[in-house]
């Protein structure tokens, strides 16, 4: 493998202190490689070991376009291009990421238990759909209580409309979003506001359009089959160059863009039987980078295997990932509030499985799965709460519905408040999907723009086939349509209307509770007890830290239910901190009758689809509620776009 240097990138075009450009290309398939600059000058690259080619020149400057000519025949963009200003088919552009002046020297990436994640799609988060416009919303996110934004993939894809998971050039920042310098500026601004940045990256496949990588070398292998076709080559012939490519990419985001954490998409599709799995090697190199720079970086994964090996440390023969998304909490929660038990929901029993997920993370940890038709999962007994990321909705769970309905279009207003409470009182890292905090009503469809007619037709047909058994007479929105994309954009003007304003204030209050109460903020799974009543459809979540105890009482039924606290924690009375059926939150199913304080032998009437939070150790349970400045900020956001 070409020597890896965590202090600087060793692939593609980099600029040396003497302003010469160093060019490194991995192409074991080529017999001759030339560099073409601005469509004119041609310079030969020297062949090195293990399929690498390299040269140094003062003829290539930042801003110049360039391509590689293979075997004196066809020319292609750089697989490690940092910029594709004219899209995936045109020439690469040389840029120097070191020219950006960073102002975040005092920034400290928070520990994971301090993360409250907010997932955004750059193209639909604002009307403009750019990094610069996203930057204008940071004060809003800060006032909400967000501590980390998770940006869906920004690697260059075909045209300007895509979820991001069809990215082709892993190192190039999407030109329509603003490119590399504007991403750097956004990250710097986030750090100034005290917000961490998580970037979603895709290392399990390349996008279907504009990828010429196979002309350079065996980036893919037919050894494994994935949902996207041949797998990325992590363990077949010539795999070392591909592993180098992926690790270099991850290090670049951390080092050159000051990204705080990466969210690795679908790591179960990263097939690797090497003695050292690619994720383990990535962990080792990121650890080396952190030792060198003194900065902390997190590796978060989406994984569909319920296998703690992925998040166990290297010292325990794990892959060393810091945390993972838990879809099973989402599935259990959604079935509990009435989601039909079809598709992947068919495996979930609602309240019983939600109770288990609160306690154990994974629902399936060795039981038979009817959907998978096999025994599935392992127990994650020793993994702390900050290794699990949960949500009531995200881009997948909304966008992969036939009509892209958000929770606001599926459930009652009271259920929206209950869903928010169920997530935010959990002993795990919560993730919000953009707009859920005000009950955004626009759908979030799957959308992707392609130029190749056959590909456009195949994607559209694939979506139709996916929902062929849905028994719906509604048309599946065309991913290629500009209207499909436009309908997915957030309506910031809703902030000026009710009940959206009140729901937003409710979210902010819940987030403040979570942040300020140690019993909720500390993600200690051993200090959690959960009991449920299936007949009543009620659940009691008891969490504690030191002498502070919190009881979260949830009623998922559509009728009032009488409950009694499941256990006595102290001799002190319990004091109510939040009640979603309180009149200030505009309840639809009845005003709360839950008392402001009670002893352990008192019965409580819970209103339908509601959550009530009580605390003991009251002197340590005071919470600062949203302040007028934050409310004026929300109104200002609405007036600016309304």
Exposed e or buried b per residue across 28-63, where buried means at least 16 C-beta atoms within 10 angstroms of its C-beta: bebeebbbbbeeeeebebeeeeebbbbbebeebebe
Widest CA span in the chain: 85
Say which DSSP state 439 is in.
Answer: T
Give me the catalytic one of 235, 236, 240, 302: 302
Cα distance from N-terminal residue to C-terminal residue, the chain: 55
Cα angle 559, 564, 569; round to 5: 145
- Residue 310 CB contacts under 8 Å (≥ 6 apart), including other chains: 267, 279, 301, 303, 318, 319, 321, 324
Q: Are 605 and 560 in contact (CB under 8 A)?
A: yes
Give me the catalytic one of 200, 209, 265, 436: 265
Q: How far apart are CA 287 and CA 315, in angstroms?
A: 13
Q: Are 259 and 199 in contact (CB under 8 A)?
A: yes
- Residue 332 CB contacts under 8 Å (≥ 6 apart), including other chains: 348, 349, 350, 353, 354, 356, 357, 363
- Which of 596, 593, 538 minimizes the C-alpha distance to 564? 538
Q: How far apart are CA 210 and CA 52, in angstroms?
A: 22
With residue 631 as reference, give the H or E element that holds it.
helix 628-641
Measured CA to CA in angstroms, residue 301 lies from 306, 319, 324, 397, 443 at distances of: 12, 11, 5, 16, 26
Q: Are 115 and 477 in contact (CB under 8 A)?
A: no
Exposed e or buried b per residue across 307-325, where buried means at least 16 C-beta atoms within 10 angstroms of its C-beta: bbbbbbeeeeebbbbbbbb
Q: How far apart are CA 452 and CA 161, in angstroms?
A: 15
Q: How far apart are CA 640 and CA 265, in angstroms?
A: 35
Q: Are 586 and 502 in contact (CB under 8 A)?
A: yes
Strand partners, 433: 119
- Which of 153, 188, 200, 156 minimizes the C-alpha distance to 175? 156
Active site residue 265: yes
Active site members: 265, 302
């Amino acid at each position: 493998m070409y020597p890896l240097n965590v202090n600087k990138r060793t692939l593609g075009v980099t600029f040396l202190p003497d302003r010469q450009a160093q060019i490194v290309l991995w192409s074991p398939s080529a017999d001759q490689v030339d560099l073409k600059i601005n469509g004119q000058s041609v310079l030969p690259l020297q062949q090195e070991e293990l399929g690498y080619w390299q040269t140094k020149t003062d003829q290539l400057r930042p801003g110049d376009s360039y391509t590689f000519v293979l075997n004196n025949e066809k020319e292609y963009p750089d697989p490690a291009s940092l910029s594709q200003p004219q899209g995936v088919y045109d020439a690469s552009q040389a840029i120097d990421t070191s020219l950006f002046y960073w102002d975040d020297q005092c920034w400290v990436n928070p520990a994971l238990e301090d993360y409250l994640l907010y997932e955004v799609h750059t193209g639909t988060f604002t009307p403009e759909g750019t990094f610069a416009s996203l930057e204008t919303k940071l004060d809003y996110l800060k006032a909400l209580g967000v501590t980390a934004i998770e940006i869906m993939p920004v690697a260059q894809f075909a045209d300007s409309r895509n979820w991001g998971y069809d990215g082709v050039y892993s190192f190039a920042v999407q030109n329509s979003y603003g490119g590399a310098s504007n991403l750097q500026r956004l990250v710097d601004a986030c750090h100034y506001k005290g917000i961490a940045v998580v970037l979603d990256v895709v290392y399990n496949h390349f996008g279907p359009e504009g990828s010429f990588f196979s002309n350079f070398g065996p980036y893919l292998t037919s050894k494994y089959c994935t949902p996207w076709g041949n797998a990325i080559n992590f363990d077949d012939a010539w795999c070392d160059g591909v592993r180098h490519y992926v690790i270099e990419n991850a290090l670049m985001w951390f080092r050159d863009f000051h990204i705080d954490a990466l969210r690795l998409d679908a790591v179960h599709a990263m097939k690797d039987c090497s003695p050292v799995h690619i994720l383990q090697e990535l962990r080792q190199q990121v650890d080396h980078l952190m030792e060198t720079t003194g900065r902390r970086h997190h590796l978060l994964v989406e994984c569909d295997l319920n296998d703690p090996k992925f998040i166990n440390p290297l010292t325990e023969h794990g892959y060393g990932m810091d945390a993972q998304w838990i879809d099973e909490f989402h599935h259990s929660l959604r079935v509990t509030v009435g989601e039909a038990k079809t598709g992947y929901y068919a495996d979930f029993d609602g309240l019983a499985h939600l109770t288990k997920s609160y306690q154990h993370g994974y629902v399936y940890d060795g039981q038979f799965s009817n959907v998978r038709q096999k025994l599935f999962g392992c127990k994650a007994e020793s993994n702390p709460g900050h290794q699990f990321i949960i949500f009531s909705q995200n881009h997948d769970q909304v966008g992969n519905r036939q009509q892209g309905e958000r929770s606001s279009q599926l459930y009652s207003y009271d259920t929206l408040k209950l869903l928010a409470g169920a997530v935010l009182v959990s002993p795990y890292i919560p993730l919000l999907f953009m707009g859920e905090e005000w009950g955004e009503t626009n759908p979030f469809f799957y959308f992707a723009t392609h130029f190749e007619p056959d590909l456009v037709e195949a994607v559209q047909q694939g979506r139709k086939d996916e929902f062929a058994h849905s028994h719906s007479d509604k048309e599946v929105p065309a991913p290629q349509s500009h209207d499909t994309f436009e309908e997915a954009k957030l309506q910031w003007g809703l902030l000026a209307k009710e009940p959206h304003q009140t729901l937003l204030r409710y979210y902010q209050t819940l987030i403040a509770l979570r942040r300020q109460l140690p019993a909720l903020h500390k993600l200690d799974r051993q200090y959690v007890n959960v009991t449920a009543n299936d007949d009543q459809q009620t659940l009691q979540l008891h969490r504690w830290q030191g002498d502070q105890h919190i009881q979260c009482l949830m009623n998922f039924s559509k009728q009032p239910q009488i409950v009694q606290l499941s256990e006595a924690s102290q001799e002190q009375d319990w004091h109510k901190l939040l009640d979603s059926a309180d009149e200030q939150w505009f309840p639809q199913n009845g005003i709360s009758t839950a008392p402001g304080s009670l002893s352990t032998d008192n019965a409580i009437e819970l209103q339908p689809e509601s959550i009530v939070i009580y605390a003991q150790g009251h002197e340590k349970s005071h919470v600062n509620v949203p302040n007028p400045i934050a409310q004026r900020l929300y109104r200002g956001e609405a007036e600016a776009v309304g």
